[in-house]
Homo-oligomer: A and B are copies of this chain.
Amino acid sequence: MTDPDRLPVAIDAMGGDKAPAEIVAGAVRARDELGVSIVLVGRPEDLGDAEGFEVIATSEVIAMDADPGRSVRTMKDSSLVRAAEAVRDGKACAMISAGNTGATMASALLRMKRLPGVFRPAIATPIPCPGTDHPTVLLDAGANVECSAEWLVQFAQMGAVYARHRYGIETPRVGLLSIGEEPTKGSPLVKESHTLLAEGSWAASSGGTFVGNVEGRDIMSPDIDVVVTDGFTGNVVLKTLEGGMKALVEAILGAFASSDETKAAGEVLFPALLPLYGQLDPDNTGGAMLLGVGGPCIISHGSSSATAVFNAVKVATEMVDADLVGALTRAIRPDEPT
Tell me the A residues contacting B by CB distance below 8 Å.
Answer: 129-131, 142, 145-146, 177, 179, 186-188, 190, 215-221, 229, 231-233, 235-252, 254-256, 258-259, 261-262, 264-266, 268-269, 272-273, 275-276, 280
Contact = CB atoms under 8 A, between A and B. Distances in A.
A5 to B, nearest CB: 40
A240 B252 contact: no
A250 B131 contact: yes
A254 B241 CA distance: 20
Contact of A221 (B221, B243, B276): B243
18 contacts: A131-B250, A145-B187, A179-B232, A215-B243, A216-B235, A220-B243, A220-B247, A229-B236, A240-B240, A240-B241, A252-B252, A255-B272, A255-B275, A256-B272, A261-B268, A264-B265, A265-B266, A269-B269
A239 B215 contact: yes
Given A216-B235, A221-B247, A237-B237, 6 more contacts: A130-B248, A131-B254, A142-B179, A215-B236, A215-B243, A248-B280
B272 A236 contact: no
Interface residue SS majority, chain A: helix
B273 A255 contact: yes
A262 B255 contact: no
Which 6 A-B pairs rank lowest in CB-CB distance, beginning with the nearest?
A217-B243, A216-B239, A216-B240, A130-B251, A265-B268, A265-B265
Q: Which of A129, A188, A265 has the most CB of B within 10 A?
A: A265
A169 B87 CA distance: 54
Contacts of A247: 129-131, 220-221
Contact of A216 (B241, B250, B269): B241
Contacts of A238: 216
A266 B262 CA distance: 9
A240 B241 CA distance: 7
A272 B250 contact: no
Nearest to A255: B272
Contacts of A259: 272
Nearest to A191: B145
Nearest to A240: B216
Nearest to A254: B131
A219 B190 CA distance: 24
Given A247-B130, A262-B272, A216 B236 contact: yes
Contacts of A235: 179, 216
Contact of A217 (B131, B177, B239, B256): B239
A245 B246 CA distance: 11
A254 B230 CA distance: 34
B255 A269 contact: yes
A306 to B, nearest CB: 24
A242 B269 contact: no
Nearest to A67: B184
A236 B233 contact: yes
A186 B243 contact: no
Contacts of A146: 187-188
A232 B276 contact: no
A274 B268 CA distance: 19
